[in-house]
Structure 1
Amino acid sequence: MDIYELQPHGVTVIDTGFVRPRFDAAYLVVQDGRAAYIDTGPNSAVPRLLGALERHGLAPDAVDYVIVTHVHLDHAGGAGLLLQHLPRARLVVHPRGARHLVDPTALMQGVRAVYGDEVAARDYGELVPVPADRVLTTHDGMVLELAGRPLLVADTPGHARHHHCIWDAASRGWFTGDTFGIAYPDLTTGSGRFAFPTTTPVQFEPEALRESIERLLAREPQVMYLTHFGATREVAAHAQMLRRQLDAMVRLAQGEAHAPARSERLREGLRQLYLHELAQGGCTRPAAECAALLEGDIELNAQGLEVWLDRQTAPKGTA
């Protein structure tokens, strides 16, 4: 079943259906008959994105922007296919990521390297290139106008160098992509949602991520629109947990930097770190179920931490 969750101020959370329910979100922002998507999910999500527009009674030519927070395929994989349905829309993308959506060859090669050919084909399909003349690259502080509603772009590296977040003054909320971490509704505890950073390969930089998180908080947001997953108004508690988890993940990585079987030790360390935090928060779901829900993130986060560790020890000029 397609899930559309309406928020105040014309914001709709769209469950893209990627991986499992309430795992991957895209957003539709509607203002005075004009619309913008923020993140798209993969190709398979495009019917759901168009369905959300139809629910608002809007035609495809009402969409002005398709904004991707960064070019990882759970956020931007469907951008090219979606644009084929939207005659007036422009793709809004960080300048470091634009070329990968105009010519997605290298992007697909990277995805196959991380996930393997079979999983890449199953989950993402073949990316549709975006025509270069429909691309609008951003800069820090840039403002997009959606029927007079300002959407401010902020450069937010740390998860990836091609990452930006979008500030919506109308709702006092950030569309955070992966900068403000992950908080699955299925892992809600007595203390609120369990939140943790994502260190997916290959550009994790903890200091930059810390700075980006604090930059988002400086605007005193009332809501964070997470790609993984949904709108959260528990901003302060989420931020506190995110900081704590980020510090713990970095300590874990540094402690295992030279260990034998480093990959396995990192995966197990992350698993125990997350399960401990969930137990401390009063999670009633069995630990085995929690671990199963987090297994994909554990694998990718361990890979990303390894890439970061290797970059720290690489000869100068090769990192």
Structure 2
Amino acid sequence: MSLRLMLWVIAVALFFIAPHVLAEFHLFELCLIAGTSLAVLGLVVVTGMAGQISLAQSAFVALGGYGASILATSWGVPLWAGIPLVAIVVAAFGFVLGQMTLRVAGHYLALATLAVTAIVQLALVHGDALTGGAAGMAVPPFEIFGRTLGSGRELYYVILPVTALFILITQNLATSRFGRALTAIRQSETAAQAMGLDVLRYKAAAFAASAFLGAVAGGLLAPLSSYLDPAQFGITYAVYFLAIAVVGGMLSPVGAVIGSAVFVLLPNYLQAFQSYLGLVFALLLLGFIVLRPNGLASLPWLRQISTALQGAVRPRP
């Protein structure tokens, strides 16, 4: 049995065993890790692959969560249908936004995407008729085939498979023609343009993919939390996603999972230092930037696992 097949068999077995041996709280944590990983995957594409600094991921997550919830409460569209619909619309918004903002680079791009996050948050706060304003809004339960999924144990069977699917897609995207084009752009936009690549369109497409993943994550995390508060989706949340990507590994889809696990689980082990969590995370981020800029996913044994888990369907050259 090959290493890849063995790892996949173990992963599938653990997926079905976990709900029978873990408590509800731990299953909730697994769902939270998976949903956060999905949002951070967007940064792996736009920042890790394409080299564009984005602080708009928080805005995309907010639009996905609020959009799917509004469709469900106001128009009766179930979440399982509303999430992909909203994600496509948010992806189109991300593509247009990319065309507008990606003509700038570096810290100017970071500031532009930060402004997008601030604008979306303000729109949520002042859109009382749809979003509930500053008080937020309740999220309708996730219903599929007439069954309501209202707990972490039930949502586990939705959030984890969807996240695994998109990790697999992103992993293969990195070695596809599109992924190689993004890598060329990250290394040198001038050289990529000289080779005939439409740099602006590729960067905007990466932005659209990031927006799509963020919106799907927001739509899945919304029923998990059962309530949406616009204060959750501000600038701090945008930096939080970026920190997860840095700690886990900006260039690796598996790094998104590793970083999310660190940031979700670490507070549970630092109960005595809850008042200093911000400082702990800041020092953690600084340490990784200085000592291991490629994140935890660059550890040799984790890199081997990432390579072994890569999708069996290889993209055409």
TM-score clears 0.5: no
Question: Shorter chain as normaliser: what TM range?
Answer: under 0.3
Higher relative contact order (CA 8 A, sep 6+): 2
Q: Which of the pair is proportionally richer in helix?
A: 2
Q: Which of the pair is proportionally richer in strand?
A: 1
